[in-house]
Amino acid sequence: MSEQPVIVLVHGAFAESASWNRVIQRLHTNQLTAVAVANPLRSVEGDAAYVRDVISGIGRPVVLVGHSYGGLVITQAAAGNPAVRALVYVAAFAPEPGESAFLLSGKFEGSTLGGALEAYPVASGGNEFRIATDKFHHQFCADLEAGEAALMAATQRPVTEQALTDALTADEPAWRTTPSWFVHGERDLNIPAAALRFMAERAGSRGTREVAGASHALAASEPDAVTAAILDAVHHAQE
């Protein structure tokens, strides 16, 4: 059996690293080491470069897990990276070269994210987006209690317009050569379930879980399902 991998968790837009807490607790119960990366949410290539730095610093094989926009980041970061033994997409984008979060989220009907966003300019140029506080619960995490949703709205990390419109630039998406697993919610209002199913099938997912009634905030609301997908990837990586 090969060396046990470290689980590297990459959050997406409107979330933050503590959004993985319930998953991390379960990984620890399974005697696994996990690192939740603070994804900058500035640009796909810049964010992926940072994740590659984290992986390099760990110095061990990793299973790379991305949520939402984090799927773009892990796809870019894992390209040509031998340390990455498996990929897990949690309600996440799994792009082809040239595809962006903006393009993929509009590929199928059902996303209501656009109407929930607030935009404002940033000093580096362009705008960044956050989900309006009064819309966050319904839009992002309808299957969590209102009190927790309010905390998540207050701690959300905004994302730049550039990050959402940046296309994958890797010559080949990592999921084409690295085994991948997918898990998503049936009632995801950010990325329609139809889009998530399409990307999982296109990527040749080794195992896809669709959680009935679950929102976009799957790591918080359905940590058992997310952990199960990660454990499948870990078991493969150790074979």
Model confidence at 74, pLDDT cuts 50, 70, 90, reads very high
Q: Is the pTM for the entire model greater than 0.75?
A: yes
Q: Record the tokens describing residue 37, joined without a space.
A: 């990366």
> In b/e form, how buried is each residue of 34-51, taking b as 16+ CB within 10 angstroms?
bbbbebbbbbbbbbbebb
Convert the pLDDT of each residue in 79-102 to its tens digit.
999 999 999 999 999 999 999 999
CB-based contacts of 183, cutoff 8 Å, min separation 6? 88, 89, 90, 91, 208, 209, 210, 211, 218, 222, 225, 226, 228, 229
Convert the pLDDT of each residue in 171-213 to its tens digit.
999 999 999 999 999 999 999 999 999 999 999 999 999 999 9
Q: Record the tokens describing residue 211, joined without a space.
A: 């959680």
Amino acid identity of 76? Answer: Q
Beta sheet of 34-37, edge-to-edge order: 34-37, 6-10, 62-67, 84-90, 180-185, 208-211
Torsion of CA 102, 108, 112, 114, to 10 degrees: 20
